[in-house]
Structure 1
Amino acid sequence: MKYIKADVVLPEALLKEIQKYIHGELIYIPNPKGTRKKWGECSGSKLHLKQRNDAIRDSYSKGCSIDQLCEKFCLSFDSIKKIVYSSK
């Protein structure tokens, strides 16, 4: 989140109205409801984890053991188990 000067982006009338309630302070204006992006959508983390988990499930279905998958993907035994046995 970055700082933006209100007098640069807001119309003068709106700025004067806001100044009736608060002036000389920082104020946070949240995004409208329904416009918030879900976790990992901007950075690509969500897609990366989905691809990794799909690769883990595919390797397991082709005969790799959970121990082998732990070594290959640098994850714990329990993490691999959760991924392999999840219904996705």
Structure 2
Amino acid sequence: MSYKKAKDLLPIELVELIQQYVDGECIYIPRREGTKKGWGTNTSTRGELNRRNAKIYADYLSGVDLNTLSRNYHLSYKSIQRIVLTEKKRRKSL
């Protein structure tokens, strides 16, 4: 998120009205409903996690036990269980 100067974007009357409530402070103006972006849509993080999870599931299918996966991927045992279960369900629905 980048900061924009209100005086460059808004009519001076609106800036003065906002200053009555918040003078010289930073405020966040949320997006309108329906224009929100999903998590990870601006970066490659979502894709990287999907590839990692697919690799974890492939290792699991090849016989690597959950404790070893937990150590290899530096994730908790519960996280590995969740990833394996999620990948299993996702592949069944394909």
Query: Does TM-score exceed 0.5, indicating one fold?
Result: yes
Q: Tell which deviates more after alignment, 25-34 or 50-59.
A: 25-34
Residue 15 in structure 1 maps to residue 46 in structure 2: no
TM-score of the superposition, structure 2-length normalised?
0.67
| Structure (1 or 2) with the greater helix fraction | 2
Bigger radius of gyration among the two: 1
For residue 52 of structure 1, give the secondary structure of its aligned residue in structure 2: helix
- Structure 1 residue ranges without an equivalent (≥5): none
TM-score scaled to structure 1, two decimals? 0.71
Amino acid at match of 1:43: T
Q: What does 1:1-88 correspond to in 2, within 5 Å?
A: 1-10=1-10, 14-16=11-13, 18-19=14-15, 21-23=17-19, 25=23, 26=25, 27-86=27-86, 87-88=89-90
CA RMSD of superposed structures (Å): 2.3
Structure having greater relative contact order (Cα 8 Å, sep ≥ 6):
2
Q: State the distance in 1 between where 2:78 and 2:40 align.
A: 23
